[in-house]
């Protein structure tokens, strides 16, 4: 039975999120008319895109009904603005990522678990030729709860391969305590990648089974996880 291996994107597979952050601030200004809102005013790492929008706009007095009415317009404009700004603020691949994916792509089903809107995830990973490694996913355009995105990805993998994965055959990689918490909520194996904001100790404290600096530790990762 192959493993199902699910990856967060930002801070796990790629680094450099300036264009994405700019896209949030753009829609705060242009769609909601809130000129002084800034995504950095909250601890947003590991949250879904839609939840970030809802939290920050609520902080600035925007009523939930107005957010609901505008959310599709917001998502559409975020995607367009992100695509526009990405050449100015490109992402880079976390060390070892491509080599690791190449080594395991024939041995496992690979998927994504990300708070990114799906089209932003696609544009982001296509810009560094990583998108095609992944056959399933759960995206921030689908639910504001991260653990639900894991459930969606698992269901899609089961349907794609017509197999049922045991919990010990599912591995999740993430770089934030929220990534780890979502996987732990479902009693799944979760591995920390300390290439983002959080240290190895912070990810261990959050409950990661193992923590690695990045994917350049390929031999150790494969030995520890038996993949």
Calpha distance 211→24 (Å, rounded): 30
pLDDT at 227 (0 to 100): 86
Calpha distance 133→112 (Å, rounded): 10
Position 2 pLDDT exceeds 80:
no
Residue 1's pLDDT band (cuts 50, 70, 90): low
Mean pLDDT, to the nearest integer, of 199-218? 96
Q: What is the CATH number of domain 18-85?
A: 1.10.150
Mean pLDDT, to the nearest integer, of 190-195? 96
pLDDT at 149 (0 to 100): 98
- Identical fold for domains 3-15+92-225 and 18-85, yes or no, is no
Mean pLDDT, to the nearest integer, of 85-92? 97
pLDDT at 105 (0 to 100): 94
Calpha distance 66→73 (Å, rounded): 12
Stated as kind and residue range, the H or E segment containing 158 is: helix 146-161
% of the chain beyond a pLDDT of 70:
100
pLDDT at 180 (0 to 100): 97
Calpha distance 32→26 (Å, rounded): 10
For the chain, the domains span 3-15+92-225, 18-85
Q: What is the architecture, at CATH level 2, of domain 3-15+92-225?
A: 3-Layer(aba) Sandwich (3.40)
Residues 167-176 have pLDDT tens digits of: 999 999 999 9
Residue 226's pLDDT band (cuts 50, 70, 90): confident
Mean pLDDT of the chain: 96
Mean pLDDT, to the nearest integer, of 56-70? 97
Give the residue carrying structure tokens 């829609």.
Answer: 27
Mean pLDDT, to the nearest integer, of 181-202? 95
Residue 196's pLDDT band (cuts 50, 70, 90): confident
Mean pLDDT, to the nearest integer, of 117-134? 98
């Amino acid at each position: 039975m192959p493993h199902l291996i699910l990856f967060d994107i930002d801070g796990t597979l790629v680094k450099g999120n300036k264009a994405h952050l700019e896209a949030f601030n753009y829609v705060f200004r242009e769609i909601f008319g809130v000129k002084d809102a800034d995504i950095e005013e909250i601890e947003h790492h590991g949250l879904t895109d839609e939840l970030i929008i809802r939290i920050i706009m609520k902080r600035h007095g925007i009523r939930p009904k107005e957010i609901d009415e505008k959310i599709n317009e917001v998502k559409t404009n975020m995607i367009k603005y992100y695509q526009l700004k990405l050449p100015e603020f490109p992402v880079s691949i976390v060390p070892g990522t491509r080599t690791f994916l190449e080594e395991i792509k024939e041995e496992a089903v690979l998927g994504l678990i990300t708070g990114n809107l799906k089209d932003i995830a696609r544009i982001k990973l296509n810009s560094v030729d990583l998108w095609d490694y992944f056959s399933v996913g759960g995206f921030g355009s689908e639910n504001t709860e991260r653990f639900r995105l894991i459930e969606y990805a698992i269901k899609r993998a089961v349907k794609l391969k017509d197999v049922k994965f045991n919990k010990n055959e599912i591995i999740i990689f993430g770089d934030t305590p929220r990534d780890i918490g979502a996987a732990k909520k479902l009693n799944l194996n979760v591995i920390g990648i300390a290439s983002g904001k959080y240290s190895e100790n912070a990810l261990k404290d959050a409950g990661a089974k193992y923590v690695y600096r990045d994917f350049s530790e390929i031999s150790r990762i494969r030995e520890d996880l038996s993949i």
